[in-house]
Amino acid sequence: MSSPLNLLTCHFGDGLAVGPDLPAAAQAAVTQALAPLQGQRPDLLCVFVCGGDPATVHLAGIHAWKLAKARTTLGCSAGGVLGAGRGVENESAVSVFAAYLPGVRCTPLHLELVRTPEGAAVIGMPERREDDAVAVLLADPFTFPVADFVHRSHDDLGGLPLIGGMASGPHGGGSTRLFLDGHGMPAGAVGVVLGGPVSVHPVVSQGCRPFGPPMIVTKAEGNVLWELAGTPALAKLEQIVAGLPARQRPAAVRGLQVGVAMNEYAEEHERGDFLIRGVVGADHQQGAIVIADVVEVGQTVRFQMRDASAADEDLAQLFRQFRSQAGPVGGALLFSCNGRGRAMFPSADHDVLAVRAGLDTPSVAGFFAAGEIGPVAGRNHLHGFTASILVFGTGGW
């Protein structure tokens, strides 16, 4: 729980500028983002840059740091950016999120993978403090073991929530750029640990709607589902899809996912209780389904469908639930999958507009990520096709 005295004076701002001159776009975006801070020096500045030349992307990130003079600045390159109520994909643009957080501790971090005689290890994580609330993490997927680090984080970091996304560059490996306090990082991951009197809450929308009943896995091997509730998995799926209304069947087949229950002791398993994983194949001869995660006998799973309607509905439901339990929102960082945007919705603006409306705040910025990081049911996970959101409050929650 945070101190309302400090948080009543918090201020947040966002900005976005488009144009081939990325340093000039960075200046415009920073100016927009700083305006709501009422002259206060930002404690946290996040800058996200989309551009075709990694060197120019680097210059834009450093230029934003120089202009804002924030106490902590981090950011990365991306295939698209979000801010000022807009989403811009595959076009030169800069988005900026600024936060004045009096009394809040912002501890920057740079994680690196190193080789030791005992094997590979990740170094650079600050020592955990009791009042650490969350860590924002931006990672280069080509040089940092994101999936393994996130998987191990619950135990290694004492349950510290992680939120963020994977950066991307215009030319794949070697073209990704990370920024941290005026330095360009060629590899690893950068971030910040927020601690002390800060009201923050992660919201992860996996963009799916459940269908069919929850089922116990009765036979599985690795990521192969052989039997569900004693029936061959593929036959069970076909049976459930056949029982759907005709208008829902195409969406169920086209956007088929599997949700793996995170709490086997829950009396009921509904939307939000499942970690969503993609279906990557099927063996029609043996009736098996292959998913993008390891499943075990005894786990509960439920089929899910993902499309624009389900994703929009999931965001709206999460925000209604959040607003019923939390106080006023000051701003939000948004990490939206690069498979969303125009690939899923009519407009690249969808997610940023949905977050602004659902949380009743204009200060939302972020980027289209190549993989999103966020907690589900109290454990950190690496996701795809999600919107991972870090919500900042204006008072004690």
Rounded average pLDDT over 352-362: 97
74: β partners: 46, 180
The fraction of the chain above a pLDDT of 90, given in percent, is 90
pLDDT on residue 1? 34
Rounded average pLDDT over 44-57: 97
DSSP class of residue 235 equals H
Nearest-angstrom CA–CA distance, 204 and 188: 24
217 has a pLDDT exceeding 80: yes
pLDDT on residue 298? 95
Cα–Cα distances in angstroms (integers) from residue 380 to residues 97, 159, 165, 166, 388, in the given order: 23, 8, 12, 14, 11
Residue 37, both tokens: 């801070």
Check residues 265 and 343 and name the one with the higher pLDDT. 343
pLDDT on residue 119? 82
118: pLDDT confidence band, cut at 50, 70 and 90?
A: confident
Closest C-alpha among 324, 328, 333, 331 to residue 396? 328
pLDDT on residue 76? 98
Distance of CA 169 to the CA centre of its chain: 18
Q: Is the pTM of this model over 0.85?
A: yes
pLDDT on residue 269? 58
CA angle 61, 380, 16 (to 5 degrees): 25
In the chain, list all ranges with CATH 2.40.30. Answer: 209-305
pLDDT on residue 271? 62
pLDDT on residue 303? 96
Residue 188, both tokens: 């690893």
Note whether 129 and 40 are within 8 A (CB).
Answer: no
DSSP class of residue 125 equals P
Q: Which CATH architecture has domain 209-305?
A: Beta Barrel (2.40)
Rounded average pLDDT over 45-64: 97
102 has a pLDDT exceeding 50: yes
Cα–Cα distances in angstroms (integers) from residue 86 to residues 75, 163, 165, 366, in the given order: 18, 21, 19, 10
339 has a pLDDT exceeding 70: yes
Note whether 95 and 179 are within 8 A (CB).
Answer: no
Q: Which residue has the tokens 């360009």?
A: 184
The 3-state DSSP class for residue 139 equals strand
- Radius of gyration of the chain from Cα atoms? 21
